[in-house]
Amino acid sequence: MDIQRPGIDLVDALLRALARLAQALPESRVESVGRQLGRCWFHVVRYRRHQALAGLRLAFGGRLDEAALHRLCRENFEHYGVVLVEFLRLPRLSDRALQDRYTINGLEYAARARARGKGLIILTAHIGNWEYLAAAQAGWGLDMLVITRRAHQPGVDRFWQRVRRARGVRFVDAYRSLGEVLRHLRRGGTVGMSIDQHEGGTTGVRVPFFGREAGTVKAPALLAARTGCPVILLLSWRGADGRQHAVFSEEIPLAADADLSVVVDRTTRRYNALLEEFILAHPSQWAWVHRRWKPA
């Protein structure tokens, strides 16, 4: 008997109830309610606030004073609240309504890369409304398999993955997924990978991120080097008017070197530099609460 099952079901049921409440909100109230939730989290969960502030100081400490950093941190938590409410409302949002919320730039780069027939690796990150982006891309003809990590709380994970699956998001667990990923790429499919979370051990490479070494997943550069798959970056942000904006980059070339480890290191540095540039343009919308700079 699975003794954890009742707890899982209780959390799942609670999230379903919260989703019904969120779905009952008029559209005009979604942002304000989300920001209020985010402000509560900012004031109540101190260790998360301190964690986010530590990252913000690292990135902006030389340019912003402490008062400005706290304002940016509060805006960041407000953003999380909006993302949460929007995600809870996602099951009631039609595919057409979701697509109508997006302005898309650079989709032709993905089409051009896929036309080469080698498969495509799309890099992304937890910026903007990343869950909206995961759901929206399912309608863009990308044939994407998303590599994902599981939520630590099983009930949360069950709810989260069920909502994503219902929106046509295809995903595979980050652990023990290599065979499925390679098969999908060989068929000319697209694989989506987040590059902004800490990655340690043999699966990570320590390269600079905002001027400090950060364990970064090396699989994208390694796969590109071994398979010849093109790599592009797909990121999004939420505009002041509430519209979602998605941007595809041009193909990111591999670094040239005979040593594979050097290729992986230098190429991953390029990925981090491009992500940094995007975060600097939309600093309140990245997941600063994540412990990105863990020790080796």
pLDDT confidence of residue 7 = 59
Nearest residue to 188 (alpha-carbon basis) of 123, 107, 114? 114
Tens of pLDDT, residues 184-200: 999 999 999 999 999 99
* pTM (2 d.p.): 0.93
Indicate whether 6 pLDDT > 80. no
pLDDT confidence of residue 276 = 97
Percentage of the residues of the chain whose pLDDT score is greater than 90: 89
pLDDT confidence of residue 3 = 43
Tens of pLDDT, residues 9-55: 888 889 999 999 999 999 999 999 999 999 999 999 999 999 999 99
DSSP string, 21-75: HHHHS-GGGHHHHHHHHHHHHHHH-HHHHHHHHHHHHHHHTTTS-HHHHHHHHHH
Tens of pLDDT, residues 92-147: 999 999 999 999 999 999 999 999 999 999 999 999 999 999 999 999 999 999 99
How do 102-105 and 244-248 pair as beta strands? parallel
Q: Which helix (H) or strand (E) holds 248?
A: strand 244-248
DSSP string, 149-210: PPPSSHHHHHHHHHHHHHTT-EEEESTT-HHHHHHHHHTT-EEEEE-SS---GGGEEEEEET
